[in-house]
Structure formats: structure tokens, C-alpha cells
Amino acid sequence: MSFFSGFKRLTCLTLLLSLLFAGGFSFTSIPVFANMANAEEAVKSEGTPTESVKEGEKKAEYPPAPKLTAADYPQIGGFNPRILVWIVAQLHLWFAAFVLAVPIFVLIIEAIGMATKDQRYDNMAYEFIKVSMAAYSITASITAIMGGLLTFTLLVFYPDLFKYMASLFSRSMLAYAFLFFAESASLYVYYYGWHWLEGGFKKWVHLTIGLVLNFVGTVLMLLANAWVTFSMSPNGVDPATGAFLGSEWDVIHNFLWNPLNLHRVIANIAYGGSIIGAYAAYKFLSSSVKEEKAHYDWMGYTANVIAVGGLLPLPFAGYWLTAEIYAYSQQMGITLMGGAFAWLFIMQAVLIGALFLSVNYYLWCGMGRSEGSGRYTKHIWWIAALIVGCFLVWFTPHTLVLTNQELKALGGPYHKYLGPLGIMPAKNTAVNIMIIMTFLSFTLYRRANKIATVSWAASGSAIQAAIFVAAILNIIFLGVYHGYFTNTAYKVAASIPQVLSTAVVIISTLIIDSMMFKGAKEVGPLRWGKVPDRSQYALFMLAVSFTWLMGLMGYVRSGIRQHWHVNSIMRDNSIDAFTPTIGVAAQVVTSATVIFMAIVIFIFWLSNISSKKSAVH
Amino acid sequence: MKLPKLLQAVLVVVGVYIGFKLVFSVGLHQPIPSSLLTMYMFFVVVATLLVTTATEESAKEMSAPIKALVEDPSKKTIRNIVFVLVPLLAAWMTYSKLAPSFEAPVELRTIHPAPPSSLKAYGKSFDMMKLENPFSKFQKEDPEKFKVLVKEGGDVYYKNCHFCHGDKLDGQGQYAQGFNPLPLNFQDVGTIAQLQESYLFWRIATGGPGLPKEATPWLSAMPVWKDFLTEDEIWKVILFLYDYTGQAPRSWAAH
């Protein structure tokens, strides 16, 4: 019982903290009101407020973006403002991503439970939010702390930038503060109301609260995204001076807003899954009780499925975002893919490949849970071979690192045969096949414990195999044809039929499987908890790679503005307005990752202590 | 006879390595650069380990010989040999990494740095965000005129550029081998096919000296053509480059 009250205390504290910071946020963003005051003054100075204001004068109400000098950036102590803000912003983003992601899939699972009337799902959803709640309430408050800290550091070290942004986003920043409160409130109602709002109509009410919770969380993120994308593709301000044109919606709805929104929503789901997976792995490894092990194994598995579900469409959302960046500004596009940041993309490719490998490894190891898996483990090696083959293509850079000798031997900086692997058609081909193969691992895993009893099982499997082979051949053909034999105008043309092929494989396999395994015989009960410890490290790997990846690519997204606070509107004139070398950037991101992981492990450890305490009592 | 798992794994890795070498260096005469091969092999090793430890039985089979080597009393001689060889191997690898050589150090060079937002040439300033080839429109509007323009562009090219970029535009001009970086091959999918015409205009007008810092440390020998050619000549030669190679410039998709 003492755990519960302790827990309650904790949640109260969290609520208080988030209030404080939400409040603190609106307080610190008081410059928000600056432009309102300006407007008032403008009216006053005109004498008669009833006089209609002409277009030109209306514009003059808003000041232009400030032009800064190095002296406008306060230097305090030995802090490097840029690195400080960078790390704090990154930590805030990670925690926020986690806090927003958990309710998304808890709601999904709850809805599945309602639709199928299967109580197991509902229990699982509750279990999910309960087990993660202890960690979660701390996380939420850390998110708030980080948010407050971010505002604070921005205000201290970049006061003029903050003022300018706050003057543009006055209303949305205020809304953000309120939504922050609404988020915490609906979260607690959702969690504590779970058992109270059970059955029939009450359940609908509960589901609606969950929906509200997620809606609020998503809007929160969309607002923050608007601030970020505005600094890349400013809109709604005078392109020459940066003066606000009067519509906050135009400022929010800038060119890159929606591409980033989609990317982040999907990534959040995958990220939340991976962190919960790591949590489950931690609990699995630290427990020696059989039931507990079984429980956390199952939890890790479910979280992993959700993470993979988010991971599969992610590369495509990423392509869209990149394509839109290119379309918005050639300069940013080239900086991103061909220029200074290209090498970070190679690192990204390596990490994404590592994600795919870990996911597959986890599935292969998981086959050990079922007795019937012997039929399928023999396929692992060629699935792996294909994935690795694609992986190598996936990270082959277009511009190679060459010694002088190699340069002469190749007759130029580009490799005749490997060069085309560095551009889009090859990357698309590789990632599609990687996705199909990962899906194959998943399909085999699901089959491992089942024997189909329908009469057409053999031909059903044959049809599925044919679809897989046909799709892969189609994808390779399209990739090779467009990669080597057509020019750029058509290069992207391959990507759509390739994605369609992948979608056909996934959808048709799922449909055939669901018919084929209706009433299938189970080989034996699934032995949850009977997986090697090795597999759990794959879950850790997943969470770490994900975190690191978000940090690196987040830096790239932000860094391609180069010496601009707001691209081509407000120049960064601080002494830090340079693009750091790849090594320095990687070090900063890696340090931030380590800090984040340390805090997360600390949270896991704390929640372990509190649950042990409750077990003793 | 079935080979032990560990040996199988080693053979696979060695086999892949030899395969890469044979196919690329011997078969295609385009060796894989060592930096890339190292990355490739790293992941081949990782994947091999993953596959061989995916099931409990094979993981045991993999580790059995290693365990035996460390623990089995009867393997004492081999153990001693291995325990001497491993540190020696590490020492040799360290030495060969650190030993001085006459090779210039490998550098990450950015071949396509981001262009500036505006370009000053011919006494005016071009906005790189909006710059377009004034002649492109004739491709649809007046194909005859377009043909003439391309032909004129060809004349500019063969008077000025082919010494370096080659008469087939493949980067194999007579003088090409004398330069580092090498003049670019426009037939390759990775050069002009990836770029907008405005980018080419910038590169041709300002040449090697116009490259921003990230394209260093090597200064390219590409001349500053705005000192020798007119604005129109540059646009025409750009038409020619795309026309001859059959590539299409990247265009302003969403604008």
C-alpha cells in the first residue's frame, strides 16, 4: 500500500511540477505580449482609433527581424551557449517523444481490445500504462523540466531570437502552455479512470478521454514543429525584413511543417515502442522469477512489434521530408545530401541498418519460444544474407573516401559500379527489400508455433512465396533499370511502384495468413520467457540506435540552416555561427545520448526499487 | 563430414572478402576502396555472428570450441600458441596503422558543396534561389532555335572545356590526369544529373577558386569562366552538357 501512496505522492509532485513549468513557460514568454503592446501604441499614436488603417501602415505595426551583432549574445561564465542549448533541446525532444508516444499505443491496444472484446488486450493496455507510469510520471516531469530549461537557456543566451520568435508565435506559445496542462490532466484522468470507467458506455467515455489525451499531445507536438520548421522555411513574414505579416496561421503553416509532422508522428510511435522494449529487457534481465520473466518477455515482444510497425514506413516519410527540403531550397538540399552533412547520412544509414538487423535478430531468437520453430530456423541464413546485401548497398556513399592511389586506379572520384549504389534508386531498392525481409522474419516467427489445418495450406504458402519472389524481382528490376539506364528526371519514378510492391507483399501475406491460420493447431503453448538473454540486448541496441539516430539527424535538420537563426531572414551573428566538424557534432550528440540513457536507466532503477518495496509490504 | 560452426563462420567471412576482391579488382577492374571494404566487412562479420547465434543450439556450437580452448586441460599447447598469437596480431595491426607512409592522408572531400544564396558576376547579383537558364524555355517553344543554341554551346565546349572534361564529356580529357581533383565526368549519374542549371552556372562562372571552404583541401583546376566567357555562352554550354549526355537537370519541383 505504501507503494501506492508513494506513487500518488509522486504523481502529485509531477502534476505540480508540470503546472509550474507550464506556468513558467507562459511567464517566460511574456515578450509574447510585446507585439500586442506595440499594436496598442500604434493605435494610440494614430490618434483616432476609428480611422481605417491602410495596408502599408498595418505592416509597419510589426517590427522587422532584429539584425544582431556578436555583442547581442550574452556570454555568461564559461558556458558554450550553443552546445548547452543544443543538448538541452535534444534531451527535451527525447523525453517529449517518449511521453507522447506511450499514450498512442496504449490507446491503440485498448481500442483493439474493445473491438475484439478480448479482455487480454485491455489488461495489456492497462499493464502497459501502469508499468510505465512510474517511469512515466518521472519522465513527464523531466520533460517539463527540460522544456523549462530550454526556454530558460534560450532566453538567457539568445534573447533577441527568442523575442522575435515569441512575437510571431504569441498565441501558439500561450496555447502550448495551456495544452501542456491539459495533457497532464487528461493523462491522469485516463490512467486513474481506467477501472472506474469500465464496461459499456463508460468504456466509450474512457476511450474518448484517451483520444483527447492523444489529440492534445499531438497538437502540442505540431505547435513545436511549427516553430522549428519556421526557422527552416519561414512563411508569413516579409521576406526582405522578416516583419510579421499579421497571420499566425501562415507562420505556422510553413512549407516544411507537414512533412516534419508526419515524420515525427511516425517516429514517435517507433521510438516509444523501442524505449518500452528496452524497459522490458531491463526488467527481464534483472528478474529471476519465472512468471516475471515471462511477463516482461511478452511485454518486450509487444513493444518491439509496435516499434517495428513504426519503423517500416519511416524511411518513406523521411524521403518525403528530404524531397520537400530540396524542393524548398536547392541550397539546403545540397548541404543536406551532397555537402557538409552528407557524411552524417552515411552514419544514419549505418544506424538504420543496425536497427533492422537488431529487429530481425530479436525475431529469430524469439522463435525459441515455440516448439515448432525448427521448421523455420533453417531459413534464417539466407534472409540474413539478403538483408546484409541490402544493408551494404544502403550505406554505400556516392562520394567515396579514396586514397590517391585508389583515385587514379578508378579514374575519377566516382566508382563505375558502386557509384550508382549511392543514389536514390539503389537506396530505395535496398530499403524496400530490407523491409520485405524483415516482414518475412516476422511472418515466419508468427508461424513458428502454428500448423495450418485448412486443406489449401500448401498452395496458400506457395502463392505467398510467389508473391514475395515476384515483388523482390520487380523491385530489383525497377532499381537497376532506373539506377543505371535512365536519367535523373526518371530516377524517382521507380520509388512509387517499388513501395507499392512492398505494400502488396505485406497486405496480401497478412490476408492469406489470416485465412490460412484460422483455427490452426498450436504446436505447443508459447513459452514466454524462454528466450536467450542475447535477444534482450537486441532490444537495448534498438533503443540506443534510435536515440542516437534522432540526435544525429535532428542536428542535421537544424544545422542545414548554417549561419541563419531563421533561414535567410534572421542571421546568426554569434561567435558560434559556424558548422562544426562532423567529429565535434558526433561527440556532442553522443554525449547527449549518454546523458539521456543515464537518466533513463536511473528512472528504470527507481521504479524497480519502488516496486520491490511494494512487494515486501 | 560437417564442419564445426565456428570454422564455417570464419570461412564465410573469408569467402566474402575474397569474393569482393576477385569481382571488383580482377573482374571489373574497379577495386573497392579500402575505406568502404572495411565497412562492408565489419557488417559481414556482425551479421555472421548474429546468424550463428540466433538459435540456442547453434550458439552453443559456436562457443563450444572457444570454451574448450580456454578451459580444456588437454588443449594446453594450442592455448599457449593462441595466447601468444593474438597479442602479436594486435601489435602488428597497431603498427601497420601507425607506421608512416608516403600516401597523402585520406580526406573527406565534398564534391558538391552547397551554393551561396547569391552570386556576383558580370557586374550584377544573381539570386541562386530563383536563377534559371534563360534558354531552357526554347526546348518546347522553339525547338529549331534550341538546336542552334545547343550547337553554339557545343562550340564553346570544344573550344574551352574538352581539354579537361574530355571530348566525350566523360572526364577523360588529355590533361585530366594531371589534376587533383580530377575534372568531373558529366556522363556519370552523380554529377550534372543531380544538379540544377543554376548550380552549374555558379560552378562554371566561379570555377575552382569559387569553391567554398568545405570543398577544400584540394583546389580544383577548374578556371573562373566568368573572366573568359559571356553570360550567354555559359548558359549555352550548359544546354550542351545536358543535351550531349542525355541527362536532365534537376528542376524546381514544388515552386
Hey, what's the cell of A487? Answer: 536519367
H, E, C per residue of A327-348: HHCHHHHHHHHCCCCHHHHHHH
Q: Residue B50: which of A546, A441, A597, A294 has the closest Cα?
A: A441
Q: Which of B56, B247, B254 minimises the CB distance to A368? A: B56
Cβ within 8 Å of A, B 162-221:
171-172, 177, 180-182, 184-185, 188-191, 193-194, 196, 198-199, 214
**Which positions in chain A touch B202 (Cβ < 8 Å)?**
none
What does the CA dihedral A376, A382, A387, A389 come to, rounded to 10 degrees? 180
The residue of chain B with its CA nearest to that of A365 is: B54
Looking at the complex, does the CB of residue B114 fall below 8 Å from at least one CB of chain A? yes
What does the CA dihedral A562, A568, A574, A580 come to, rounded to 10 degrees? 0
Strands (E), chain B: 118-121, 124-127
B182 and A411: CB-CB below 8 Å?
yes
**Which positions in chain A touch B50 (Cβ < 8 Å)?**
357, 360-361, 364, 384
Hey, what's the cell of A66? Answer: 532584429
- Beta-strand relationship, B124-127 and A450-451: unpaired
Provide the CA B39 distance to its chain's centre, in angstroms: 15
Q: Which of A255, A488, A568 minimises the CB distance to B247? A: A488
Give dist(CA A403, CA A600) in Å, integer: 43
A565 φ, ψ to 5°?
Answer: -75, -50
| A219-243 average pLDDT score | 88
B114 and A334: CB-CB below 8 Å?
yes
Looking at the complex, does the CB of residue B49 fall below 8 Å from at least one CB of chain A? no
CB atoms within 10 A of CB B41: 15
Element (H, E) at A387: helix A380-395
What confidence tens digit (pLDDT) does each residue in A99-137 have?
Answer: 888 888 788 888 888 888 877 778 778 877 776 666 566
Q: Residue B111: which of B244, B249, B243, B222 has the closest Cα?
A: B222
B59 and A404: CB-CB below 8 Å?
no
Provide the CA B216 distance to its chain's centre, in angstroms: 16
pLDDT attached to residue A135: 59
Task: Label residue A61 by pLDDT band (50, 70, 90).
Answer: confident
The residue of chain A with its CA nearest to that of B102 is: A404
Give dist(CA B70, CA B2) in Å, integer: 23
Mutate to test the interface with B, among A322, A335, A343, A414 (most CBs of B within 10 A): A414
Three-state SS for B252?
coil
A380 and B184: CB-CB below 8 Å?
no
A399 and B39: CB-CB below 8 Å?
no
Looking at the complex, does the CB of residue B141 fall below 8 Å from at least one CB of chain A? no
In chain A, the percentage of residues whose pLDDT exceeds 70 is 85
The runs of H, that is alpha helices, within A29-79 are 34-45, 55-60
Three-state SS for B187?
coil
HSE-up (13 A, CA, CB side) for residue A596: 29
Hey, what's the cell of A134? Answer: 512510474
- Topology at the third CATH level for domain B118-245: Cytochrome Bc1 Complex; Chain D, domain 2 (1.10.760)
Write the burial class of residue A175 (CB in 10 Å: 0-12 exposed, 13-18 middle, 19+ buried).
middle
B194 and A338: CB-CB below 8 Å?
yes
- Beta-strand relationship, A450-451 and A521-522: antiparallel
pLDDT attached to residue A611: 63
| A555-572 average pLDDT score | 86
What confidence tens digit (pLDDT) does each residue in A347-376 have?
Answer: 888 888 888 899 999 999 988 888 878 788
Residue A412 vs residue A67, higher pLDDT: A67
**Which positions in chain A touch B114 (Cβ < 8 Å)?**
331-332, 334-335, 338-340, 562
Per-residue b/e over A147-162, b at no fewer than 16 CB within 10 Å? bbbbbebbbebbbbbb
The residue of chain B with its CA nearest to that of A373 is: B55
What confidence tens digit (pLDDT) does each residue in B172-229 have?
Answer: 889 988 887 888 889 887 788 878 888 999 999 999 888 877 666 667 889 999 999 9
Q: Residue A403: which of B24, B23, B99, B35 has the closest Cα?
A: B35
What are the DSSP calls for A246-304, one per residue? S-HHHHHS-TTHHHHHHHHHHHHHHHHHHHHHHHHHHHHHH---HHHHHHHHHHHHHHH
Q: Which of B53, B182, B246 minimises the CB distance to A534? A: B53
Three-state SS for A220?
helix
pLDDT of A58 > 70? The answer is no
A330 and B129: CB-CB below 8 Å?
yes
> Residue for cell digits 558543396?
B113
Give dist(CA A139, CA A131) in Å, integer: 13
| A189-194 average pLDDT score | 88
pLDDT attached to residue A549: 92
pLDDT attached to residue A53: 41
Enter the DSSP assignment of B106: P
Do A395 and A349 form a contact (C-beta atoms < 8 A)? yes
What confidence tens digit (pLDDT) does each residue in B43-100 have?
Answer: 999 999 999 998 888 888 888 888 888 888 888 899 999 999 999 999 999 998 888 8
Helices (H), strands (E): how many in chain B?
A: 9, 2
Task: Label residue A32 by pLDDT band (50, 70, 90).
Answer: very low
> Which of A232-241, A386-395, A413-422, A452-461 is most confident?
A386-395
**Which positions in chain A touch B248 (Cβ < 8 Å)?**
487-489
| A396-413 average pLDDT score | 78
Question: Considering only A19-28, A156-165, A574-583, which range has the smallest mean pLDDT?
Answer: A19-28
Task: Label residue A311 by pLDDT band (50, 70, 90).
Answer: confident
Domain ranges in chain B are 5-98, 118-245
Enter the DSSP assignment of A526: -
pLDDT attached to residue B55: 85
Looking at the complex, does the CB of residue B104 fall below 8 Å from at least one CB of chain A? yes
Shortest Cα distance, chain B CAs vs residue A418, angstroms:
8
Give dist(CA A515, CA A534) in Å, integer: 34
Q: Residue A307: which of A328, A346, A281 has the closest Cα?
A: A281
Residue A246 vs residue A486, higher pLDDT: A246
The residue of chain A with its CA nearest to that of B165 is: A412
Q: Residue A588: which of A73, A80, A78 has the closest Cα?
A: A80
Q: Residue A564: which of A15, A57, A65 has the closest Cα?
A: A65
Give dist(CA A255, CA B212) in Å, integer: 28
> Residue for cell digits 501512496?
A5
Cβ within 8 Å of A, B 65-94:
none
pLDDT attached to residue B216: 65
CB pairs under 8 A between A and B: 185
* Bridge partners, A571 (sequence order): A564
Could you give the ipTM of this predicted complex? 0.76
> Residue for cell digits 537563426?
A565
**Which positions in chain A touch B171 (Cβ < 8 Å)?**
411-412
pLDDT attached to residue A7: 46
Q: Which of B47, B111, B114 minimises the CB distance to A399? A: B111
CB atoms within 10 A of CB A201: 8
Q: Which of B32, B56, B188 minimises the CB distance to A414? A: B188
Cα radius of gyration rounded to whole Å, chain B: 28
pLDDT attached to residue A229: 92
